[in-house]
Structure 1
């Protein structure tokens, strides 16, 4: 993947990819639209949506012995296997929850309440579900909470900043894979390796919700104790979170029915559709991989598919920032400021934070919507943004987050609309 500016999918494949998703070019009312808010919840795979309706329509309880119940059990087994395929995880426990945020609180609690230590480490860029869980359980257990600072140049967190906070008394490190404001990827592999050199018994929890749809995760290279994903940001559906726990993390005391095995985490009857959706997502990524690989191994195909998604999205990012011959990119459009604009695109997922002169961020979002573009404001008044923005010295930004099923002409249209908005309000401000 040594392609600094990425590489687009072939044209025919781009068309086929778009056809597998709902509402890529139009909203549910049939109006032309660019949905560039995928960091808030991605465009949906048709096969994933169909799987929910097909499987959830079945009334049978999967904890029975008859034929349809066994069929539902098989769906759960296949889906759990595909969570491991996504993560390249061996053994451990797959935990299905209502949300990835809820699972994060459960995971943090299990470690904080049961593992000796006098401190826990996290970063300023974490999602509130992680940061607030760490804060809550640090307070409840009397442990110090140490917070790694962000790097305003890269938009991420430096490895040294994290490992410098870890010592023999650290029981838990919680760190995200990529920022949902800057798109900066965190070097999880280096952090985990360095952290375990300092404290081999350290537990590590990773929030992969933002990064999982955009880049490869390999737990054989990054041996963590727990990691979560959210299908609604990964071409799937809301109302579902999936986590994986290592063998040692899975048996920490946690809420469960007394008669269940020590490593069992689900509470109540399972929802088989959650697992069916994971399988459809995995099927899709493997199908993409099969366009570039002759392998018959599912993990190999999945890895190839995700790598190709990353290359296509890097090419979209390069076009978004630099434009093309005759069309300026965001870096060159007068009146547009690109925040946290780190040059090495290989270290970024497809998220861009911008501001437009003469426009408050929420107003800018409204102007984009008037022109058929959905983006989102990240402002200091939001509990989901304030801590991260302040760490960067920003009051707010417009977050632009396309996804791999977008094509170069979608980027060109967005750039043209951005230029129109900027020109209109630059003139209005001057007048």
Structure 2
């Protein structure tokens, strides 16, 4: 097993995986296409969609005592347990929200207004749902906003740059697990360890939405106070965010019904279908892990499945960048620039930021779409991109984000189309 360059699935397993997802090779109208915009969402598991439809069709309220209500309660309990399994979380609270972004504002609100400190720390690469929440509550509570800069070589944030901003008067630290522009992973384990050496009781909040579908999360190694995921970016459905809170975070004052327990963050009736989706996601990853190990332990199979996803995606990333004997990679196509091209692929999730000479990112995205390829432009005019791109000295980039259910053949087709695009412009 070559962990540095990845390890692709066998052709047989690759097809089995692909068959478990909707619209991998064709769009909703049956047109052949490559969907390489999974950083903006993800392919949907057929099982997740089916489970959502079935459970959501039930008219019953789960807060009753008849058989159907008890069945819904069991679905919610299993989904919450599977959320803990994803995080490898012990204790604390799990709460569901309409979006992961909304949960981030709720969490930052609670800690900013109820924990002492005169400054807050975050990074320039954060998603607006966390960066804007941090800056809003820093201003509201009169705290100094400290922002760690990006590293132009790695495309990420250095641990040193984060820790240098933390002191004994820091209220909290908010940092993402991986960049949704460069794919660079942040060393959260080192961040937590070193930041707590400066302030042992520091509250730490992590946005794991982008990283969760691509690698193992283990709160026993990264004991933070809050971490969120979005099922729609993790092979599931839109309409929910799942967040884990440490026991001390869960007990901070927050919006809640008065009669509910102190650590409950859910407001209103739960949507059992969303918990069913989470279980379908975990079932799938466990099935994948079981192709490689014989363990019956659900967490062990899940971890193995995520590790195999990570290795396959690393192999896809290597293929994208360096190509093969028959097709050149992005690094070797004249007229293509790969931005933030850090050599160590183990430090990156499956995202590439690139540009094509003589085409703006928007023009390139249009040209790809005309050829049945969906990618996305990240440009400074977008509220989701401006701050991050400026930190890298870029005005824009084409973001390419395949998923593990795709294959070398899919990557090769993308590379061939890219080469054609540059050749057409040169002509």
TM-score by length of 2: 0.99
Map Cα deviations across residues 324-369 of structure 1 (whole Å, 9 max, x no partner).
0021100000100000000000000000000000101101000000
- Secondary structure at the counterpart of residue 206 of structure 2: strand
What is the rounded CA distance, in whole Å, between the counterparts of 2:198 and 2:286 in structure 1?
37
Alignment match, 1:167: 167
User: Where do 1:214-293 residues align within 5 Å?
Assistant: 214-293=214-293
Is 1:85 aligned to 2:85, yes or no?
yes
Distance in 2 between residues matched to 1:319 and 1:150, nearest whole Å: 26
Aligned position for 1:309: 309
2:179 alignment counterpart: 179
* Contact kept? 1:357, 1:426, Cα under 8 Å: no
- Alignment match, 1:189: 189
Provide the C-alpha distance between the structure 1 equivalents of 2:69 and 2:425, rounded to a whole number of angstroms: 60
- Superposition pairs of residues 81-120 of structure 1, within 5 angstroms: 81-120=81-120
Taking the aligned partners of 2:198 and 2:295, their CA distance within structure 1 comes to: 39
Distance 1:415 1:163 in 2: 40
Match of 2:209 in 1: 209
Q: Equivalents in 1 of 2:188, 2:236: separation in Å?
A: 25
Q: Which residue of 2 aligns with 1:142?
A: 142
Matching residue of 2:358: 358
The runs of 5 or more residues in structure 2 that have no matched partner are: none
Following TM superposition, the consecutive aligned residue runs of length 4 or more in structure 1 with deviations greater than 3 angstroms are none
Residues 32-77 of structure 1 deviation map (CA, whole Å, 9 limit, x = unaligned): 0000000000000000011110000011111111111111000000
Q: TM (normalized to structure 1)? A: 0.99
Segments of structure 1 that go 5 or more residues without pairing to the other structure are none
Tell me, in whole angstroms, the C-alpha distance in 2 between the residues paired with 1:237 and 1:92. Answer: 25
Whether 1:397 aligns to 2:397 is yes
The answer to whether structure 1 residue 375 and structure 2 residue 375 are counterparts is: yes
| Alignment-derived partner of residue 406 in structure 1 | 406
The answer to whether the 8 A contact 1:351-1:399 is kept is yes
- Is 1:21 aligned with 2:15? no
1:324 partner SS: coil
Instruction: Determine the C-alpha separation between the residues in 2 that align with 1:92 and 1:404.
Output: 31
In structure 1, how many angstroms separate the alpha carbons of the residues matched to 2:195 and 2:360?
A: 41
Equivalents in 2 of 1:175, 1:373: separation in Å? 32
Distance 1:175 1:273 in 2: 30
SS at match of 2:205: strand
Residue 69 (structure 2) aligns with? 69
